[in-house]
Structure 1
Amino acid sequence: MEAKLSQGLYPLHRCKTIHLVRHAQGVHNVEGEKNFDAYLSEDFFDAHLTPFGWQQVDNLHKHVKTSGISNRIELVVVSPLLRTLQTAIGTFGGEYNGVDAPPLMIAGAGNSGRHTIGSLNCPPFIAVESCREYLIWYGYLPFGVHPCDRRSNITKYCELFPAIDFSLIETEKKCFVEA
């Protein structure tokens, strides 16, 4: 017997759709493709997006809006790394009028050169440590092997990204490897 699209273990109205989005191009990606050893450079600690990465974000934002996907998104779960926050906010962020809702990202956050991105008319955002691409646990602190995979202090992020919920991040400390 052939299953119909509407048949399944759970009714479709009780199911959720999950969209997974990888971060746009970061400064570490450009140098790392030229020379893999560049990933070991502290210059790329918690790497930010390149101008081309922001162009990718703008294209995805336009697609999400014109396709109607943005109307169906209930929650954005994001890794607490600068490039992933910038990608998620640029893609799924809303309007900013300075009054009705706090900004998701303040102007210029993380060398972006961008205007403020608001939280008005967009889903809530929550940062989750375990969403990071590479995560190695030493004791209770997560560390990335490469500087680009380590994050800044959550206090800093709270200033740059005021409307993001960082309450699930268990440690305030900046994740870095001591020499």
Structure 2
Amino acid sequence: MQTAVGVFGGDSYSDGVNVPALMVENVGNSSRPAISSLNCPPFIAVESCREHLGVRPCDKRRNISEYRHLFPAIDFSLAKNDEDILWKADVRETNEEVAARGVKFINWLWTRKENEIVVVSHSGLLYHTLKLFGSDCHPIVKEEISKHLANCELRSMVLVDRSMLGSDSCYSNYPGKIPSGLDLPSDIADDKHPEKGNIN
């Protein structure tokens, strides 16, 4: 959360400002000032948008009650339990389970009304989830989608709900139907179909 707040948060928090701090001062012994939520987009903590779960203590989250104190303006209402009941000391989540959780998160994204959403998460979740997508794309696109993310990497993506494109199956991310017939440059099309002439 510190990364998200640092990148997308407001200015330093000032006493007297009538909005909750996005992050209080010195979170994680960082010696950083508090950050204001003034003029910031909404921040929502989503339980399924986390790193591999289990075994490694660094992947266990704190109690939500602690986070609420440290990040007062972040919405933690989607967390069903104060304690981290998903993390198990003796069972490490498989890559397939991480990917399934990531797909669950993407399905949740579809329920949001916003057109632009920033997802801040760990690379493992994003890597294993995104590897499931793009099989119907050009191999270069599939390769790009499936690359592991570097630490603190920003990557822009467009998610397309193909169910909104119509009843025909679509194999591209173009938001509309693929025109029937040859896809020729206009000058070649004019030569091949002179009866249609230049209609410009």
Q: Which has the higher strand share?
A: 1
Between 1 and 2, higher relative CO (CA 8 Å, sep ≥ 6) is seen in 1
Bigger-Rg structure (1/2): 2
TM-score (normalised: structure 2): 0.41
Q: Which has the higher helix share?
A: 1
TM-score (normalised: structure 1): 0.45
